[in-house]
Every structure is written in structure tokens, then in C-alpha cells.
A and B are shown apart, each in its own frame.
Chain A
């Protein structure tokens, strides 16, 4: 499933969740999301980078240049305090939505 098919706001949630585990560069974030969703979501660069830059501007993420494992210079993103708060809110919201959808689907 491509990122465009996600519910609105879900990509933000996945990125924040990924970065809450530690700083990561763009490719790393993309691979990580693929991995934690069991390959369900494949985030394309065309959606990933606009989202990263937007979230950085909003102050949820901070970025700095660092060295990758293969000695390549890469831009590492990490979650800020306001990003963590945001993650909490997004999580709550998601839980509510998920619960609502589930009960809607199970209602007879």
C-alpha cells in the first residue's frame, strides 16, 4: 500500500513513532516504516520528504547532518519535545478512531 492511501495524518503518526525510537535519516525512516508495518506501507520519497520538511517547520522534528553506517553524510531527523507531545495526541486520536471503526464493523 502506498502512503497516499493512508488515512490523513497517519503518515505523520508513523514518522513520529519511528523517530521516537531514535534519530534516523530519510531512507532509514522509510525502511523502518516498511519493517514495523510488516511491509504493508511503502513510503515513497515524494511523500516522505514533503512530510519531513513540513514537520520540521512545525517544530515536531529537528534535523542535523551526520555520518551513516556506510560513512555517507546523511541528514538525521530526531523527535523534539513538541513532537513527542504531538505523538501522544496522534496516538490517542488513532486509538479512538481505531476503536470506533472496529466497533462500527462489529456492530450487527
Chain B
């Protein structure tokens, strides 16, 4: 057997030669036999050949019976396919490029889908990890469950195997190992790392006794900070480092690959939470937590949800009265950890994956159309092969081998393109996105690419097979030239494919049109301030060094004095900033109105600002005045409100001069100014009622320095840092960005969606136009004799033009109408990605239809021009 295979594959020449001789000898002997029985030599030879039944057919049958025959045929098919491609390199190039673009885009997107939505999270038993939040049905903002709820659940919930919490508020200033640096610290309960199955690269996890209030401070370093600040040295374990001015013992270092399971929290530094288990509702200083639980095996999320909700409701009687109204309709949400991590982008990623799949489909339809046209041109070749003894199956196999060869070439090129596109896609994703670093081409992605390449090959290969199947052998052979009219079947297939293509492209065009309009709307939104030439820097005053309001206010006023360096037109301090919001929320109470019920005080964002804040950001002051240096902690208390505040709480009245209280103070503050609204909490949210107070009354430990200057950014930021260091070298400066940067960041997700969808829609439009062009050009070339005769019989050029254009536009409009229906159904998936626009926005849909119709007309016009140039005389002579 093996010898046979070896011989068949590698001694092919000898084997074939041998077979040829053998069959010739057989025919000769047969002829001898017949000649002996009295036939003429010539007749005998003829009879012998007939009896043999075609030497090539017999050879083929013998070959098919050999070991490794399929490999052999495959080899032959492949060689033949390669020859066909060499003969027609333009065709091959178009097909390979079309498929490569489609497959490449799909490969790149699928590696994102794979990393974010399919691959197991890098935590132990990740499928049983859930993220637990509390929320009010009427309010999107969710503050995170307070610690008494956590301790209550911890004590009583039966369905969770383990529950751990973490939280922010642990940003610290590190002064060991270099310049003062602000570090995003995260507080965790002692068991969190164990629950995730994470072992420190060095040292150990926190012990339970280190996670109690008043325990000596310990810390686990993140890998990068360990490398950067401590040179990756292993004797850092057990050492004391200075955090916010006091010493903490390093007990461990996180592994390099560790990703904290929350996009909003870093893993630069972990601190024990030190939660007081006995802390109840009566104590005021409970924390808001983020909670991850692991379900017991076999327990559903729904079961855990109802248990947690039940426990939550039961504590209502123990809560102080001011919380009762606030908490009575509180709900619990239990989501898989993955949904929490990818919730922000999974919708866009899936929409894009759908879009690239559509582009590939359009590409395949285009290639199928090309293959059919080419299949028609090859009808005689196929008929000849059939006449020479090739079976239908054999020809199908040949055609499929050709298209699979093309799709594999396309797939390989596409893989390279996809690999290249990965970096582009990564740059579009939000920087804080969890698992973004794990986006890569892994075996699953390779398998996916292979699968779509094979599928494309089969889809594009079957079209010409179907078309040639309809060909009648005798007719194809009889055809003297290829100009005769053809059976209509493949025309129908041709047209159906183009209509499908147009319809799919129309869906993409409408979808991207909606995204573009959303983006334009968002980008042209008046943010309420002037973002040009404004630099912002965040400053954090170490708690130890600046323990009182007075000390912090003194620092900031000194900073404001010195920040007026040459070239700076305006300088201000703010506890909040447009687009990134404020750090403080406060309850308010209005003079002369009845006391609100417990928990009924409206809660609004509050920012301490310096006198130049509005001028520096060019936020218009609608009425009244800005703060002055005279508005001090000991002066007559004043506040400024924004327009939304005035409209909401003083409808139809003049807010100016009204008095309110905020936070916990009882002294009344007079409203002295009304400022314009700004998009405070990001671009997507309309301005909420906001309070501004003089910074001296609200000197927060973290504030932003705002500078308006035409100086180059780098020079300005280093000058500002120098000023701050000159006042106190221990104060870290971080989060340095221009307001333009912050605006761009706020638009980044939309921009990414628009850019990617726009590219895909343009690609789809181009491919559909090529498809229309192809089918019309083909029709014109086939029908040019007919056109010539019509013109000879008196048809005007305009008639011909109308006929050809009409043929194309009928296809285009059929596709557009179907596509419009598809778009109305499909754009619903876009709803969450849109901004202030309906997924059925008629303007967008109408514009898409017009654009498409225009492109289709252009695609028809080129072949139509060729049609009117047909010379009737030439045609007549030819016929």
C-alpha cells in the first residue's frame, strides 16, 4: 500500500507512461484480433478504439482507483487552478483583495470579541463570579452598596460562597523611591485576591487581622510600580514605604499579568479596607463599596438576587429615619462579572462584528458574481471537459478547488491585515477597558479565520457551479461565438446577488449614517465653556501636611498668586471641572420652604472654585456676579448656582438673592450669581443643577488648577509644576490635560464607532457599486449586438442610455428598498450607541437612499456610455 502510494505520488511519470503503453498494446491487440477475423486494418483499429471506450477515460478510471487518488486529483486540480489564476492575474488579484479586506476586518474584530466576550476571565471559577450593585429604578447613577449592607449580607446570605469588597478613596502620595507621586490606590478586603485565585508574585496576600480598623498599615504593590519605583528588587518585602507621609509595610507584589476586575480601579497599590464589621447605620462614616461575590455551585444569579434583596428589605427598620425614604425602593442588581467589565463596549463591539460580517458577505457576493461571469466565459472549456469524460462531480470539485485556493490566499492576506489592524483597534478602545491588553490572535481566532476563509471559498465557488450546471453541453459546444443569447437562469442569479449586495450595503450605510449624525450632534454640542488653550492639572494635598481647611486654603491661594506667570491670561482653582464632574455631592434646603421629609432633600453636585474660574473657562455668568477675594470663610456666605439649578428649584422666580443651605451647615447662603450650564458629567448627560461655593469655604484635598494661556502645552505644564514644587515639593501633580484633550476623550467612544462604521460602510458602498458596475457592464457586452440592431432600426442614443441605466437602477432600487426594511429592523441594535437621535431618523435614511442611488447611477453610467458608443454599422456587418 505505502509503496503504491509512494510510487503513485513520486514516480508519476513512469506510472503514467506504463499505463499509456499498456492501453495502447491492448488496443493494438484488439485491432489484431479484429483484423484476423477479416476486417480491414483501418476499420479494425477504429472498432478497437470504440471498444476501449476512450483511452483518456479509462486512464482516468485507473487513476481514480489508485491509492491516494484523492490527493492526486487534488494536486491536479490545484495545479490547474494555479494555471488558471496565472492566466488571469487581474481577476485573481481583485478576488484576493476583496476577500482579504473582508476576512482581515473579521479577524481583527473577532480577536476583540474573543478577548472581551468569549475567552474565560483570568480569575478562578470566573463563571461563578458576580458583581453586585444597588440602584434606584428612577436614577441611573448608582453609588455602590454602603458597608452596613455588605456586612449584613456577609453575616446572613447563604447562597454566596464568598463575598469580597473593594473601593476607591485610597489615592495616596508615595514619597519613597523618587519624586512625590500620586498613586491610584484601591482598598480591598483581605480575601479578594484569594477569591480571584491570584497569588502575589512576591510576598503574600493580606492576612485577615491586617484588614481590621486600627491595624498597622500594610500594602501590596502593583507590578509596574514595583518595577518603576523600587527597581523590581525583591528585598522590598517587609520594608517600610512612605504613603501620605506615614510608613506602610510592603507585604507583597502583584503578578505582572494581574488585572484588577474593575475598569475604574487600578492595581498600582492595594491597601486593606479595614472595614469595621460592627459598623452600623447609626454611625455616620460608612463607606460605599464595590462588591464581588462567588455563587455557590448550582446557585443561579436570580436566586442570589432575591436572597440579597430580601436581606436588604429586612434591615429597613434598623435604619435611621433620614435614610428611610431614600432606601425604601432601593433595588439590587447581580450581573456576571464579565458583563460588568465589558458592559460599556460590548454593544459597540457586537455591532461592529455584525458590520464586518456584512462587509465580508458583500465581498463574497461580489466575488460570486465575478465567478459567474467568468464561469459563463468558461462554458466552452467546461463543456469540452465534460465531453472528454469529466463528470459533474469532478468539475464541481475543480471549480471549488479554484475558489478555495483564492479564498485561502485571501484568508492569509486577511490574517496579515487583521494582525496589522489590531493596533489600530486597540487605539480606538477606551484606555481603561478591562482585558484590552489580552486582545491578540490566538488559536481560536486562527480557527475562526480559517473557517470564514473556507466558507467564503465555498460560497463564492458554488455560484459558478450552479451557473454552469444549467449549461447544456451541446449548446455550449455548438456556440460559434460567445455572443449568442444565453439561458436566463444565471442572469437571475446574477441579479439576485447584486440586489442582496445592495440591500446589505444599504443597512450598513444607514447604520453608519445614524452614528455619524450622533457624532456630529455630540461634537457640535455647546459644552458651555471654551475648551481652547486651557490646561488643567490635578493637585493632591497630603492629608498629614494639610489637615485643616485653613491650611489647604492657604496653599491654594498661594498657588493662585504664583500661577500668574507671564503668558498666562487666567488662572483658577476648582473642585470640579466640566466633563469630569465634581467630587462632592450635597443635600440642599431652601429658605422659607417647609422642611423636606426624611431623605427628601435634593442632592446636587457642589464644587469649590476660585474667583477666576468662570472667566478662565469662559463659562458665561448669566446674572449677578462671580466670587471675589472678599468671599472668605468668615464673610457673608454666598453661592453661585447654574442655570439648571435656578430653573429647577426657582421656576418662574428670580433665584438671585434667594437663600439656601447645603451640606451640613445651617447658615444660609445667598445666591449671588447664576452661571451658564456646562456639560458637567460627560457630553452625553445634560447639565444637572450645580452649586458653586468659594474655594476657601470648600478647600478639598484634591483640586484642579485651570490655566488659560497660549503658551505651548509642554512649557506651560512644566512651568506650572515648577510653581507647585516651589511651594511644596511633596505635592504631586498629575492628570495633566488640556480641555481639548478632555473633550476628545469624552468623544472617543463615539469617534471610534463612527470611524470604524464609516470605513465599513464606505467599503460596503464601494463593493456594491463594483457589483452593480460588473453586472451592467457584463450585460452591455453581451447585448451589444442587440443594441447595435436597435440603433440600426432607429433607436436613439438616449433610448439606449435610458434602457441600460434603467436596468441598473431597477436592481439598485430593489436592493435599496429591501435594505431600508433591513435597516429599520437592524438599527434598533444601535439605539444605545446613538445620541439624541432616533434609529429611524428619516433624514438619515433619506440621505442614505439618495447617496446610494447616486453611487448606483454612477456605477451604471460608465457601462451605459459604452453601450451608446456601439456602432450599428459594425454590428450589422458582423451579423
The total of chain B residues at the interface (CB under 8 A) is 25
Which of A13-21, A33-41, A48-56 lies on the face that meets chain B? A48-56
Residue of A49, A54, A58 near B58 (CB, 8 A) is A49
B437 at the interface (CB under 8 A from A): no
A70 at the interface (CB under 8 A from B): yes
CB distance from B652 to the nearest CB of A (A): 99
Contacts of A25 in B (CB 8 A): 25-26, 29
Residue of A45, A50, A51, A54 near B52 (CB, 8 A) is A45
CB distance from B25 to the nearest CB of A (A): 5
Give 12 A-B contacts (CB < 8 Å), ordered by A residue: A25-B29, A26-B25, A27-B29, A27-B30, A44-B53, A45-B52, A45-B53, A49-B19, A53-B62, A54-B65, A68-B29, A74-B25
B28 at the interface (CB under 8 A from A): yes
Pairwise interchain contact B30-A49, C-beta atoms closer than 8 A: no
B22 at the interface (CB under 8 A from A): yes
A46 at the interface (CB under 8 A from B): yes
A57 at the interface (CB under 8 A from B): yes
In the complex the two chains form, what is the Cα distance from A26 to B48 in whole Å? 14
Pairwise interchain contact A46-B29, C-beta atoms closer than 8 A: no
A72 at the interface (CB under 8 A from B): yes
Once A46-B53, A72-B32 are accepted as A-B contacts, the answer to whether A27 and B67 lie under 8 Å apart by CB is no
Which A residues fall within an 8 A CB radius of B?
Answer: 25-27, 44-47, 49-51, 53-54, 57-58, 65, 68, 70, 72-75
Residue of B21, B22, B29, B33 near A49 (CB, 8 A) is B22
B4 at the interface (CB under 8 A from A): yes
Nearest residue (CB) in A for B59 is: A49
In the complex the two chains form, what is the Cα distance from A44 to B53 in whole Å? 9
Contacts of B52 in A (CB 8 A): 45
B466 at the interface (CB under 8 A from A): no
Pairwise interchain contact B32-A49, C-beta atoms closer than 8 A: no
Residue of B19, B58, B66 near A46 (CB, 8 A) is B58
Interface of B (DSSP majority class): helix
Residue of B1, B23, B32 near A45 (CB, 8 A) is B23
Given contacts A27-B26, A53-B65, A58-B1, 15 further A-B contacts (CB under 8 A): A26-B22, A26-B26, A44-B53, A45-B23, A45-B52, A46-B53, A47-B61, A49-B19, A49-B58, A53-B19, A53-B66, A54-B65, A54-B66, A57-B4, A74-B25
Pairwise interchain contact B62-A70, C-beta atoms closer than 8 A: no
CB contacts under 8 Å to A, within B13-50, are 18-19, 21-23, 25-26, 28-30, 32-33
Pairwise interchain contact B61-A75, C-beta atoms closer than 8 A: no
Once A57-B4, A70-B32, A73-B21 are accepted as A-B contacts, the answer to whether A45 and B64 lie under 8 Å apart by CB is no
Contacts of B33 in A (CB 8 A): 27
B227 at the interface (CB under 8 A from A): no
CB distance from A34 to the nearest CB of B (A): 12
CB contacts under 8 Å to A, within B165-210, are none
B300 at the interface (CB under 8 A from A): no
B550 at the interface (CB under 8 A from A): no
In the complex the two chains form, what is the Cα distance from A73 to B57 in whole Å? 22
CB distance from B4 to the nearest CB of A (A): 4
Contacts of A74 in B (CB 8 A): 22, 25-26, 29
In the complex the two chains form, what is the Cα distance from A105 to B301 in whole Å? 70
CB distance from B61 to the nearest CB of A (A): 5
Nearest residue (CB) in B for A44 is: B53
